[in-house]
């Protein structure tokens, strides 16, 4: 069984500042890793995913994440955030069967 | 891109009644759909896997007789919350697997907010 830990429950950040959301996972097998964003009262939207290959993954809206197998981490970053990036962000893992285990989520609040 | 819809978007019902939530893949066929549940300020928890033409597979701790899942066609899965109680109030989200060649992507619906009074 796999599990996901998002180390920060809330991250306030000023507009145009960088942001990093931390995610660590545990699994006894190889995993696929995902970051999703959820805007208020909406479903989930995929930001990016790591399946294999390059450990640096680029996603939509300027986000990127780096898979670090030795540290079992998959931190999400954006060099310059916008007000519109205010949302809930979820890290998730799958062992290849499409079943996703989600972290508790990180609320990002971008202030002007 | 692929779209998954849910109906209704929100529903309020009385305790003891049953509520049906639909999940549709609008422009693709999905042999597998998933149902998740999200309590306020919490993460999504997988409830069950919905397989077209066969019985759903439920996660540990999820009552299959309470949460009835029917995947009648390749574009529709339904979740029926039977004899709903206030503790069933939650945000229910479905997802569907989209296959494009060798690429597989999981798309999520917008969710259904259920409030049981």
Question: DSSP string covering A52-104, please?
Answer: SS-SEEE-GGG-EEEEETTTTEEEEEESS--GGG-EEEEEEEESSSS--EE--
Measure in Å the smallest separation between the Cα of B70 and chain A Cα atoms. Answer: 18
pLDDT of residue A35: 97
- How is residue B114 written in tokens? 């259920």
- How is residue A6 written in tokens? 């998002």
Closest CA to A92 of A11, A16, A27: A27
Measure in Å the smallest separation between the Cα of B88 and chain A Cα atoms. Answer: 18
Confidence of residue B2 (pLDDT cuts 50, 70, 90): low
pLDDT of residue B41: 76
Give the one of A43, A100, A105 whose C-beta lies nearest to B109's C-beta.
A43
Residue B34 and residue A43: Cα distance in Å, rounded?
A: 14
Residue of B nearest to A5 (CA): B43
Residue A53 touches chain B, beta carbons under 8 Å: no
For chain B, how many helices (H) and strands (E)? 0, 11
**pLDDT (average), residues B71-91:** 94
The SS3 call for residue B107 is: strand
Say how many CB pairs under 8 Å bridge A and B: 43
Kindly list the residues from chain B whose CB atom is less than 8 angstroms away from the CB atom of residue A90: 43-44
Measure in Å the smallest separation between the Cα of B10 and chain A Cα atoms. Answer: 10
Residues 83-112, chain A: which have Cβ within 8 Å of B?
Answer: 90, 98-105
- How is residue A100 written in tokens? 């996703």
CB contact under 8 A, B106 and A100: yes
Confidence of residue B1 (pLDDT cuts 50, 70, 90): low
Closest CA to B81 of B73, B72, B92, B71: B92
Confidence of residue B23 (pLDDT cuts 50, 70, 90): very high
Cβ(B19)–Cβ(B10) under 8 Å? no
Closest CA to B106 of B115, B93, B116: B93
Task: Find all residues with CB under 8 Å of A35, minimum gap 6, and list them.
Answer: A21, A23, A46, A47, A48, A49, A59, A63, A65, A74, A76, A89, A90, A91, A92
Q: Tell whether the torsion through CA atoms of B22, B24, B29 and B33 is positive or negative.
A: negative
Measure in Å the smallest separation between the Cα of B108 and chain A Cα atoms. Answer: 6
Residue B100 and residue A20: Cα distance in Å, rounded?
A: 32
**pLDDT (average), residues B70-86:** 94
**pLDDT (average), residues B2-31:** 93
pLDDT of residue B42: 80
Residue labelled with tokens 């397989």: B51
């Amino acid at each position: 069984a796999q599990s996901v830990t998002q180390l920060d429950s809330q991250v306030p950040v000023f507009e145009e500042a960088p942001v990093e959301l931390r995610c660590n996972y545990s699994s006894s097998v190889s995993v696929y890793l995902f970051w999703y964003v959820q805007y208020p009262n909406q479903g989930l939207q995929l930001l990016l995913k790591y399946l294999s290959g390059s450990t640096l993954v680029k996603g939509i809206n300027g986000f990127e994440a780096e898979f670090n197998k030795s540290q079992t981490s998959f931190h999400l970053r954006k060099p310059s955030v916008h007000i519109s990036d205010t949302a809930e962000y979820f890290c998730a893992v799958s062992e290849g069967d499409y079943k996703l285990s989600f972290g508790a989520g990180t609320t990002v609040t971008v202030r002007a | 891109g692929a779209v998954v819809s849910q109906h209704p978007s929100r529903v309020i019902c009385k305790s003891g009644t049953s509520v049906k939530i639909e999940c549709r893949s609008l422009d693709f066929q999905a042999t597998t759909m998933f149902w998740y549940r999200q309590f306020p300020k919490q993460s999504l928890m997988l409830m069950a896997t919905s397989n077209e033409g066969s019985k759903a597979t439920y996660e540990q701790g999820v009552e299959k007789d309470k949460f009835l899942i029917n995947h009648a066609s390749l574009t529709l899965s339904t979740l029926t919350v039977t004899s709903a109680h206030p503790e069933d109030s939650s945000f229910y989200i479905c997802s569907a697997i989209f296959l494009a060649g060798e690429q597989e992507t999981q798309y999520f619906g917008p969710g259904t907010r259920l409030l049981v009074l």
